[in-house]
Amino acid sequence: MRTRTLAAIVCGLIFGAGLAISDIINPGRVLAFLDFAGSWDPSLAFVMGGALIPSALAHIIRSRRSAPLLDSRFYVPVNRPIDWKLVTGAGLFGLGWGLVGFCPGPAIAALSTGRWEAVLFVAAMLVGMWVYRLSRRQRLPGYSAN
């Protein structure tokens, strides 16, 4: 197995374990966090705040290196203006998160629990991704799904 693939698997497992340990894969806890008017559970605020620490450290390390350990360059997204696609996507993300308590990463990690809700959410997410890709192919001649 290639080193980069192994590193990606290890990072994914660590990330998934963090999601499970923090209980962000539990839609009940997420919905309680989002329920400001009811019985608000602030515990996920500490999880999200704690995620800033390794993120800040990674940003500092990145600024001091010319390339990552396992690649020739960093792949950093370029800032783009706020457009209707971004606003619509953010709205759909927030709506889904608020209605069912899942978002993509934690939902995939929640598959490890065998909960039918996680399976249903991930299946619906995959269908939505497939429909989006299909719609892009029909609108753009020469579009490549690769």
pLDDT class of 139 with cuts at 50, 70, 90: low
CB–CB of 4/71 below 8 Å? Answer: yes
pLDDT class of 6 with cuts at 50, 70, 90: very high
Q: Which H or E element spans position 28?
A: helix 27-34
Q: How far apart are the first and last CA of the chain?
A: 23
Q: Which H or E element spans position 29?
A: helix 27-34
What is the value of pTM for the model shown? Answer: 0.74
| Residue with token string 């019985």 | 39
Q: What is the reported pLDDT for 79?
A: 80
pLDDT class of 38 with cuts at 50, 70, 90: confident
Residue 18 in tokens? 């963090």
Q: Which H or E element spans position 100?
A: helix 84-100
| Residue with token string 């998934």 | 16
Cβ neighbours, 10 Å, residue 23:
15
Largest alpha-carbon pair distance within the chain? Answer: 52
**Which of 93, 21, 77, 18 lies closest to 51 in space, CA to CA?**
18
Q: What is the reported pLDDT for 65?
A: 92
**Which of 60, 58, 41 lies closest to 101 in space, CA to CA?**
41
Residues in the chain: 146
Cβ neighbours, 10 Å, residue 120:
13
How do residues 41-98 score in pLDDT, each as one tens digit? 998 899 889 889 999 999 999 999 999 888 888 888 888 889 998 899 899 888 888 8
Q: What is the reported pLDDT for 141?
A: 58
Residue 130 scores a pLDDT above 60: yes
Q: What is the reported pLDDT for 144?
A: 55
How do residues 10-29 score in pLDDT, each as one tens digit? 999 998 999 899 998 999 99
